[in-house]
Structures are given as structure tokens and as C-alpha cells.
Structure 1
């Protein structure tokens, strides 16, 4: 039986005072292209149903062949499961797709936090890319310490957020918070937008994988396959 992966998308569709947002196209399209032939995938979101796709990501990656092909498969994200109905016991790994949306709905979502903690306690793979490592900020192990305490972490950098002009619109800066919660262990690529994938072990002994930005999404998928032996 192929390994089973739960992919989680945001349900948040607007940045206050800015405009539409959601999940970021290549951060699902590129991993999906690598994962779907070797794993069984279930996609969920907090609200279920159609998860909002960031229209800016569609414009930005309009010439990307993998993204163009993925856009023709709208059924993949138009009828997501409800996150509250998902059970860790049914999956081997969980992967969170980025975009600015997760910063608003998944950082503090109690269902998501509980699910991640359950995966980690069972030593199952937990993973996220770009803005989605925000989902780990409020997770803890059974001793009460942050799951990401004292391990290398990565996610969308402050400089990258500045470059897209959205630092002031965010509820917090991801790099700063990942650095604070991990105890100063945030790492990033030498150059903005460079590929950076981090693979570490939690205090439970399971694997956690994070990617810095959209360009790191494919690398995260490769690490997922490597961990799962798929």
C-alpha cells in the first residue's frame, strides 16, 4: 500500500486592507506532481469545500507548465475535506501548503494544532512550506516545550516579505516568530528566493520538514518521499 498523506490548505481568502489571498499555486502544484503517483493523497482545509487559491500566484506562475496543468484539475482543491474530520491514525504524513492565508487561520487553529501534535507524538512526518511553517508556532510536545524548540527551522523570510510589500499587512513576521520560538534556530538560503529545505527530528524522534519559499516546495516533496521511502 502506498503511504497516505494529508495535505492541508488554508480557508482564509483575504488580507485585511489588501485584497484576495489563499494558498499559493506552485506550493501545491509542484509537490502534488511529485507525490500523487507514489502516495495516496487527501486534501483538507479548516472549512472544507473549495479552498481559496491566491489569484496573484496564478498570475505569477501563468507560464509554469506544472502550474498550468494543475489549474485544469480544479476538482483537487474544489471539494476539500473538513480538517476537523481528519484523524492522524489514517495517515502517514501531513503537509501544509503555504500562501499568506495560513498566517491568518492556521497559526492558531486548535484543530490543526492538535492534529500536528498527534502526528508528532506518533513519530509521523510533519511538513510545511513557505508561510505554512506558521502552523508549528503554537504546537508543543508532551513536556510543554515548543515542537520546534532548538531545531533548525525555515519559512518565508522577512526580506522576502518586504520584497512582496506585505510585511505591514501580516499579523506577525514569520522569520522573526520562527526564530523566537525555536530559540534562534531560523535558517535561510544565502540569497532571497533561493531554495532552502530543512529536515530535522522533533523531541519525539519523528521527522519535520520545512521549505523557505515557493521555490523550495519541490524539495520539500522530495524529502517527504525520502522519509516515507516511497
Structure 2
């Protein structure tokens, strides 16, 4: 791969996570522009959008046992190639494959598109599927543009077992790109994500990301002079995870031992009032799991209640980003739906903080771990691990 091509791929991954429109990505990366195709209705779709629709037909067809969607997705000469458990190469035609999904029975399969790479009339795609048999499948597709439409001509896959009680931690992030309805950019705090992620992964934990809407999340506060941040920024697999965060409906609460709310201005919006995320975290906490948050991420926990309807942090010490460090007269602050410290207190918590910014201030009270500002990110992650191991 040439240096220019490598730069294009890096720009593509970063821009998609930041929510930059695909047309702008093509221009910025100076790569082959996406071809637009006119439909009969007159609307236009890029090749990437068409491939996405084809892959969505495949995902929905297999999840809901809808043969017609699979036939729509597959080229007439579709072939499946897979090595079975006996180490034998197995091939199947499209119709042989579709026969497995003719019963009309919905399957407990959750899938997401990880990557799409298009070159003229050929494309490669990668999809992840979590299945009811406790397996995680990685599907690899070859697609061709056939009679004006993108069709899957070949599929292969690999899989691995997912432990029912695996060491998994759920990161809660936000899709909010602006402060309220203003034009002021808001973002998830990159360091608060990657520093904690790095510690959890090095200690043997699997991390998943969820956001209220799923999909790409905005990122900010990036410091490429920090080696950990830089390594993750150019890690395409990690950046794909932030581009493809799970929707709450795709999360099984029983899979997780802890929740971690990352911060940044975006964390003030859309998370605290999301009932689905509240229910997920409530179940994890009710099962003895750990709830943690850093900086503005504490905003996400203000409405969490236990099975009796009482705040999970009632009479507990909690910290987060306090108003004394906010510019309360600034336009950005006026968009906040609430004050973190005041809302924690209003709901029965004991909000505590250090008057000095950046001194690694954090609190552990029972199964709740919170940090005041980015300097406490590593300590919060380490305390989460200690609390899990103690339980």
C-alpha cells in the first residue's frame, strides 16, 4: 500500500468516527470519489450506501429468516467458503445457504458492519455477528457491482466462543456533536476513553461501546503527543469500534461486570435520560456489577435507580466535574440540561471534589467508582478492576 493510500485509509477511519460526511471524506483523502447512482425514484446513493444496504439485507435476512432479502443480497453465483471443525473446506451455493433460513423463525443474531473497502466495481466488507449459540462470527464478504447493483458474490467466516460470564466492561458514550442546539462543537473525551480502555484490555477484559443511537461518536481533546492516545488513534480496529458503537437494544446486560461512563462535553446530552441505557446499567449494578464514571461522564448516572426506585448513589460519595471548574456564564454551559454536582445532591448523593484541578481525585464507595477530571482516568479504571476482583 502506498503512503498516499495509507493516509487515505487513516483519514477515512478518523473522519467517519468524527461524523464527517462521506463526500467530504472522499475529497479530504484525495481518493477515488464515491460514485452516485440514481434510483428509479430519483434519489441518489453512493456506492458505500448501496453496499451498506446490501449487507443490511443480509443481516436482516439471517436474523429474521427472510429468504427474499438474502436473494436480493446475493449474486446468482454466490458461494460460501468455510473451513469446518473437522478442518475440511466446505462450499455452499446461495440457495443451499438460504435453505437454513426458510423456517420464518427469528434468530437471536445481532450484527454490525465493521468495514467496507470499494475499488471501482469490486468491494470487500467485514461484518461482526453475535449469535444465540454464544459465538461471535466475523464474516468476510466479496461484492461486485452487477447490473447496476451491488451483490454479494462470496462469503467466508470465522468464529470464536463467547464466555457466558466473560470479563466484559461496557463503555457508555454519547452521539451528541454540539452543545445543545448551538453550533458549538461537543465531543467525547478521547483520553478518558483510551486510557481506561488500555488498562482494561491489558488486564484481560473485553470492552464494548454503547451510545444512545449506536454508530459513530464524535471525538475530541486528542493529544497525539501522548503515546497511548496516538497508538489508538492509528489503530484501525479500535477506531472502527468507535465508528460502530452498539445500540442499547444490542446489549445483553448479563454479559458485563462493570460499566464505565466516559466524559467530554457530549456526555451531558442524551445519556442520562436514555431509559434503555438506564435499564442496562440498572441490571448490571443489580447483579453486583460496578458502575463507574469519569469527569462529565458522571452526568450519565444522575438518574440511575436501584430495584426499589432509590438512586443507586443515595448516601454515597460521588465525584465528577464540579461547577467550580466550569465557566457558568459561557454559552456552552448554558446549554447543559443540569449541573452535575447539584443533580447528584438533589438525588441523594454526597457530591465531593478537590478544589485543585488535575490532582487525580477519585472516590470508591461500594460498587460505584467516580473520578473528578481526566487526571483520574487511570485510577478509576484500576479501582474498577480492584472492585470487580473483590466482589
Verify same fold: TM over 0.5: yes
> Equivalent residue of 2:269, what SS?
helix
1:9 paired residue number: 173
> Equivalent residue of 1:126, what SS?
strand
Task: Spell out structure 1 runs of 4+ moving beyond 6 A.
Answer: none
Question: Contact 2:319/2:353 (CA < 8 Å) preserved in 1?
Answer: yes
Question: Contact 2:303/2:311 (CA < 8 Å) preserved in 1?
Answer: yes
1:65 paired residue number: 227
Cα RMSD between the aligned structures?
2.0
1:176 paired residue number: 342
Shift of residue 163, structure 1, vs aligned partner: 8.4
Question: Contact 1:98/1:131 (CA < 8 Å) preserved in 2?
Answer: yes
Shift of residue 149, structure 1, vs aligned partner: 0.9
CA distance in 2, matches of 1:217, 1:80: 21
Alignment of structure 1 residues 1-230 onto 2, 5 Å: 3-15=167-179, 16-37=181-202, 38-54=204-220, 57-58=221-222, 61-73=223-235, 74-162=239-327, 165=330, 166-183=332-349, 185-201=350-366, 207-229=367-389
Q: Residues 223 and 163 of structure 1: is their aligned pair in 2 closer, same or farther, counting only changes over 3 Å?
A: farther
> Equivalent residue of 2:217, what SS?
coil
CA distance in 2, matches of 1:21, 1:152: 28
CA distance in 2, matches of 1:88, 1:123: 12
CA distance in 2, matches of 1:5, 1:195: 22
> Equivalent residue of 2:317, what SS?
coil
CA distance in 1, matches of 2:194, 2:304: 27
> Equivalent residue of 1:140, what SS?
coil
CA distance in 2, matches of 1:193, 1:18: 28
State the number of aligned residues: 220
Shift of residue 50, structure 1, vs aligned partner: 1.4
Q: Residues 137 and 49 of structure 1: is their aligned pair in 2 closer, same or farther, counting only changes over 3 Å?
A: same
Shift of residue 164, structure 1, vs aligned partner: 10
**Per-residue Cα deviation, 1:137-165 (whole angstroms, up to 9, x for no partner):** 11112222111111000001112222895
**Per-residue Cα deviation, 1:67-92 (whole angstroms, up to 9, x for no partner):** 12221122231111112210111111
Q: Residues 125 and 164 of structure 1: is their aligned pair in 2 closer, same or farther, counting only changes over 3 Å?
A: farther
CA distance in 2, matches of 1:159, 1:66: 30
Shift of residue 182, structure 1, vs aligned partner: 2.8
In the superposition, the TM-score normalised over structure 2's length comes to 0.53
Shift of residue 53, structure 1, vs aligned partner: 1.0
CA distance in 1, matches of 2:353, 2:313: 16
Q: Which consecutive residues of structure 2, in runs of 5 or more, have no partner in the other structure?
A: 1-162
In the superposition, the TM-score normalised over structure 1's length comes to 0.88
Question: Contact 2:357/2:373 (CA < 8 Å) preserved in 1?
Answer: no
**Per-residue Cα deviation, 1:21-59 (whole angstroms, up to 9, x for no partner):** 1210110011111111221111121221211113xx12x
Shift of residue 111, structure 1, vs aligned partner: 0.7
